[in-house]
Amino acid sequence: MKCPACGSDCVHQAPEILKDIPTRFLPCARCSMRILDKRVPLPAPEYAEPCSCGKRFIDEVFAHMYVIMQEEGDLTSRDPLIAVGSPLVHPGFAMDRPPFLPAKSLLLLSGKVQEKAARRIFAEVPEIRGVVKTADYIPGLVSLDEETVPRVYTLLAGCDVRADIYPLATGPLVVYKQQSLIHVEFPRAGYPKLRSVAAHVGTPPVPLFVDACSGPGTLGLAAACLGVPHVVMNDAWYASAFWSAFNLDVNHGYLDTEEVRIFGHLGDMARHPVVRDPVKIAETVGRQKIEVYQGDLRHLDRVIPRDAHPVAVLDIFDKDNKKEVSALLRDWKGRMGGNAFIP
């Protein structure tokens, strides 16, 4: 597969990315491990090179990046190691120990890094797949207010596409996302959102499941993997809608489908980043019908008949706003009928 963001071969179908998961971040017998205190500066401007197996302990990778950022003036000798930024491994999944990183397995999110250091980090640190400059806001669409203007982070070097792996009773689900455009969401212990979806899907599965603000498609794809015959995924933000469609293709081998047709292209969709009236981005051909739309969830009644009585998950960003949540649920049920829940 070609990556929609960078055009290289850094993305793969689900079976391929899953095949080496048991050993991907484990050391070989020759690997060394130096644990560094992230709260204090690097003791000396030095770092170990990767092992002959091609892996290196994550703390040494951070030491390498720290030295580069210090040489380029982005950090001082008084800054703690944690000031380098936040690491996102590829692929991400629950681990019980710090990882030994192979090549191109780490995305760095940093508020300190500047372009010159970012380019050096990408060129000189083999474990890095991309460097993203962050800011004091959340990237993407974080409000249902139609006047909200989404903001994004800046990719300084490499590619910012990475995957997370989610466990399901039917097998692992692989979800790619572009981290400069979509907010970081770490799965909580026990994966409560997935358990909530499974409970509402039921056995036998409901006829129609709607993931109304799908992000990169995790919950809608989970419903599809659990056997729902008709799934609709939707998001008003172009990056979320596109990656929902892309992840449908990545995981289609686990679904009862013959083909995935994707109509939207990332660059074209970026010219219309927020869409009100639903536009179909992708669909499947086969016994299982799965559709992806870009549009405001409050207008999905234009593509979903009211008498369909869907089960819908409304995974909005600001769940703590009880007034907004209650109003949204009332509005959805008034327009769509069926059952709706907040995961």
- Annotated domain spans of the chain: 14-158, 188-341
**For residues 319 and 313, what is the distance between their CA atoms, to the nearest angstrom?**
13
Provide the pLDDT for residue 144. Answer: 76
Provide the pLDDT for residue 180. Answer: 97
pTM for the complete prediction? 0.95
Provide the pLDDT for residue 187. Answer: 65
Work out the angle between the directed axes of helices 218-225 and 192-201 (0-180°, nearest 10).
Answer: 40
Of 252, 240, 323, the closest CA to residue 290 belongs to 252
The one-letter code for the residue type at 56 is R
**What CATH number belongs to 188-341?**
3.40.50.150
Averages of pLDDT over each 10 residues, the chain, 343 residues: 94 95 96 98 97 98 98 97 98 93 98 98 98 95 79 98 94 96 81 95 96 97 97 97 98 95 95 95 97 96 90 88 88 92 93
Whether the CB-CB separation of 134 and 160 falls below 8 Å is answered with no
